[in-house]
Amino acid sequence: MVRLLRQPTLRAATQATVFQRLFALMAMVVMVSLVLFWPNIRDHAGQALAQTQDNSYQPFNCGQSNSSSGQARRENLPLNNDSGGTANGHAYPCISGVQWRLVVGNTQASLADTNGIIGEIQGAYSTQWANGDGTCASATFCFAGTGAVNGLVQVSIKGLGFCSGANAPAFNVGNYSCRKAASGIQLYANSTSSQSYQPAKSYQLNITPSGPFNLGGSGMQTDIFATPSSEIQTSLSAIPAGALGCPVVGTTKGQGCTITLSSFSGSLAQTLAGGGDFPLSALNLTFYYLITHTGSTTNPYNPTEISGNSVTLPNTRISVGNGS
């Protein structure tokens, strides 16, 4: 202010003119300040609290059975991407302990030929989950209140899609394309599988698409924390060295190769898929937790991450039945 008044042009001006100019200057300051500090509470909070286990995003008290305070049972899960790298994101779920099943086809059946291709996995990377550097012990997957499981495999994929018919959807997996519609897709959670608490009156939550559904989409990544005994069946020809290579990683089933997730971990998935996609003829997946995210460094809880399709269930019935 003093320096402004000492400038020759201002010194010659009347007092009123100086105030007029200052008024104009103040208006500009107000405008700039407002642009800079425009209230955007939601975005601001999302940026400030990214990558943290925070009561703002996970406000429920996920405690232990003998304590009503703390977040002792909340997991700390580093998220990955399908190319074998970290997605730099974390999720902090309070896990129900109820197993979810995704069953399509029969992984133990012999695949007659490539006409059995009913879907694809886009990109894949899996690892023996050994983190858990949060409040739960290393490699321990804690459940709400009580109970835990060890030895889960973290499978990170770009997408999982099922066919609606021969050559439709029009995608190619290596030398393969859809050969028939995926039918009888079962996605359900049965409370009797819970290693945590179990409701006295058991239930089964059924999500039943009458046609193909897909998991993931453009710009999305999916992390699945599944049991090591979960199985996928792919075409024998999709395995490097074919019939010779399958016994190394799985079990030959006719023209198919059934692989458990325990042998799928590490970079094997990348090797099998040649760094890309591979066809799917059957799936038998048991998982405790699944999350879709953008694979970015932003917090997956950030409300800006709502644009991408993550789970598409066309013509689907969701029903509640008895679990027993």
Partner 1 sequence: MSGMRHGTRWGRATVPLVVGFGLVVAMAAATVNNVLGFEASVKIINSSSDTSMNGMSISTQRLQAVDAGFGMAPVQQSDGTWKNVLRAGFANATATGLCVSKTESLPVVGTYTIKLVAPASAGTITASNGVFDITDIVGNSDGTGINLKGSTQIGLATPDITTIFKDGQGLPYAPNPFGASTGDSPLDVWTSGVEAGSAPSPWVVDSKPHTFGGGWTGIDAGAADLSRISARLWQIQLTGNITLPGLKISVTQGASKCADWPSGPPYTNTTKYDGTNLFP
> If DSSP codes are grouped into helix, strand and coil, which group holds residue 245?
helix
| Of residues 316, 311, 313, 283, the one with CA closest to residue 116 | 283
Number of residues located near partner 1, criterion CB under 8 A:
110
Cβ 178 to partner 1, closest distance in Å? Answer: 9
Whole-number Å distance between alpha carbons of 56 and 297: 18
Q: Which is nearer to partner 1, 62 or 117 (CB)?
A: 62
Residues of this chain, 17-76, that bind partner 1 according to CB under 8 A: 17, 20-21, 23-24, 27-28, 30-31, 34-35, 38-42, 45-46, 49, 54-68, 73
- The angle at the Cα of 62, spanning 57 to 68, to the nearest 5 degrees, equals 125
User: Using the rule CB under 8 A, which residue among 159, 228, 256, 279 binds partner 1?
Assistant: 159
Q: Which is nearer to partner 1, 252 or 305 (CB)?
A: 305
Can residue 280 be called a binding residue for partner 1 (CB under 8 A)?
no
Can residue 317 be called a binding residue for partner 1 (CB under 8 A)?
yes
Can residue 264 be called a binding residue for partner 1 (CB under 8 A)?
no
Q: Which is nearer to partner 1, 1 or 38 (CB)?
A: 38
Cβ 254 to partner 1, closest distance in Å? Answer: 26
Token readout for 293 is 């995210």
81 CB-side CA count, 13 A? 14
Can residue 191 be called a binding residue for partner 1 (CB under 8 A)?
yes
Cβ 160 to partner 1, closest distance in Å? Answer: 9
Do 97 and 194 form a contact (C-beta atoms < 8 A)?
Answer: yes
> If DSSP codes are grouped into helix, strand and coil, which group holds residue 190?
strand
Can residue 2 be called a binding residue for partner 1 (CB under 8 A)?
no
Interacting residues of 112 by C-beta distance below 8 A, sequence separation 6+: 254, 255
Do 315 and 196 form a contact (C-beta atoms < 8 A)?
Answer: no
Residues of this chain, 282-301, that bind partner 1 according to CB under 8 A: 287-294, 300-301
With CB under 8 A as the contact rule, which of the stretches 189-197, 233-241, 246-254, 260-268 interacts with partner 1? 189-197
User: Using the rule CB under 8 A, which residue among 194, 227, 281, 284 binds partner 1?
Assistant: 194
Q: Which is nearer to partner 1, 67 or 297 (CB)?
A: 67
Buried b (16+ CB within 10 A) or exposed e, 23-49: eeeeeeeeeeeeeeeeeeeeeeebeeb
Do 171 and 118 form a contact (C-beta atoms < 8 A)?
Answer: no
Binding mask 213-252 for partner 1 (x = CB under 8 A): -x-xxx----------------------------------
Cβ 224 to partner 1, closest distance in Å? Answer: 9
Cβ 247 to partner 1, closest distance in Å? Answer: 31
Do 134 and 53 form a contact (C-beta atoms < 8 A)?
Answer: yes
Q: Which helix (H) or strand (E) holds 215?
A: strand 214-215
Q: Which helix (H) or strand (E) holds 176?
A: strand 176-177
Q: Which is nearer to partner 1, 94 or 257 (CB)?
A: 94
Residues of this chain, 128-157, that bind partner 1 according to CB under 8 A: 143-147
Binding mask 86-105 for partner 1 (x = CB under 8 A): -----x-xxxxxx-x-----
Token readout for 82 is 């399908």
